[in-house]
Amino acid sequence: MKFLIKGVLAGTVISLLALGGHSAARAADLPVKAPPVPAVYSWTGFYIGGSAGYGWRDNRATTFNQADPLVTLVTCGGVLGGTCAPPTSSSLSGGVFGIQAGYNWQFNSRWVLGVETDINFTSISGSATSGRYNLGLVTAQNNIEQNIEWFGTVRARLGFLATDRFLVYGTGGFAYAQVREGSTVTALTEQGAFGLGSAYGCQAITNSAPTCFLGDSSRTATGWTAGGGIEYALWDNFTLKAEYLYVNLGRGSVNVVALDNSVFGPGIPKASFTAAFDRPDINIVRVGFNYKFGAL
């Protein structure tokens, strides 16, 4: 009996060992589940966003008389001893705030092609005063001002992916802007030509004082833009960017007209001259964000 019990126990132990080994072998045959592979970011899709930054430029205005006989009489070697008005230079600067929208197409793992349009409101402005010159019988100065009230662009973008989420790009295309320009001529309270005192003021040539001439114009200028930037996909639908743009716009001029010409007699047209402004070429630096529609 004793030997029978020992035999049964031994058989049970052997069966359990065999069963455990078989289970371990089956477990070893099961496939091992690989860890999930993170999705590669795709830049393809529409987006919309906003930006803010700073713009600046240098400007110069040159005055010429456009063969107006009354202006010729008092400037640039006229019989009343006038001298030519010197060029007037100014620096423009101010803030830039805008919105943009566009579409990107990622055509392989390294390159992104897109198109973007934006509209921006600005406080880019500046003013300056010329050196003194003789305006007939008085000493005068020119005063200019120029404001870039808003501008927009339509641009292509071509970018290289340093990583799947970090884009370095160049951009260029069409630019347009609303530009306001003005110029005035002011008589100074100093002695003018021929030793005549400034009591005459602008009345030496007009019946107004102290501002002799005044002109202002607003125009929509067109041109081109080029630049570049970087953009990073912070989240799946949200990117941050930093950008530089050079905006080159068309040249403008202002017809500057005498405020009052009656000193020359009734019926005589008001004297005028032209203030020609250099072509506005604005430098823009800005940062912004884009919201990309759709999933990865």
CA 75 to chain centre: 39
pLDDT of 25 reads 45
Q: What is the pLDDT of residues 56-77, one digit of tens each?
A: 987 777 766 555 666 666 667 6
Domain assignment of residue 36, yes or no: no
Contact 46, 103 (CB under 8 A): yes
Work out whether strand 211-235 and strand 45-64 pair parallel, antiparallel, or are unpaired: unpaired
Domain assignment of residue 9, yes or no: no
- In the block, tokens 């040249």 appear at 251
Contact 284, 51 (CB under 8 A): no
Give how far Cα 160 sits from Cα of 39, 165, 240, Å: 19, 11, 16
Cis previous bond, 210, omega within 30: yes
- Rg value, the chain, Cα: 38
Phi and psi based region of residue 167 (left: phi greater than 0; alpha: psi -120 to 50; beta: remaining): beta
Here the tokens at position 86 are 């010197």
Domain assignment of residue 161, yes or no: yes
**How far apart (Å, rounded) are the C-alpha atoms in residues 158 and 173?**
12
pLDDT of 144 reads 83
Work out whether strand 211-235 and strand 252-258 pair parallel, antiparallel, or are unpaired: antiparallel
pLDDT of 4 reads 44
**What is the mean pLDDT of the segment spanning 72-91?**
72
DSSP, collapsed to helix, strand or coil, labels residue 153 as strand
**How far apart (Å, rounded) are the C-alpha atoms in residues 214 and 217?**
11
Contact 276, 64 (CB under 8 A): yes
**What is the mean pLDDT of the segment spanning 16-28?**
48
Domain assignment of residue 6, yes or no: no
Domain assignment of residue 116, yes or no: yes
pLDDT of 259 reads 56
**How far apart (Å, rounded) are the C-alpha atoms in residues 234 and 227?**
23
Domain assignment of residue 217, yes or no: yes
Q: What is the pLDDT of residues 163-202, one digit of tens each?
A: 999 999 999 999 999 988 888 888 775 544 444 444 444 5
How large a percentage of the chain has pLDDT more than 90? 38
Instruction: Give me the number of domains the chain comprises.
Output: 1
78 pLDDT exceeds 60?
A: yes
Choose between 77 and 245: higher pLDDT.
245
How large a percentage of the chain has pLDDT more than 70? 65
What letter does residue 165 receive in the DSSP assignment? T
**What is the mean pLDDT of the segment spanning 81-104?**
86
pLDDT of 138 reads 73
Tell me, what CATH number does 234's domain have? 2.40.160.20
Which helix H or strand E contains 123, and what residues bound it? strand 111-129
Domain assignment of residue 90, yes or no: yes
Residue 234's domain comprises 44-292
Here the tokens at position 51 are 């930006």
Choose between 181 and 232: higher pLDDT.
232
pLDDT of 264 reads 54
Contact 214, 145 (CB under 8 A): no
pLDDT of 246 reads 95
Domain assignment of residue 24, yes or no: no
107 pLDDT exceeds 80?
A: yes
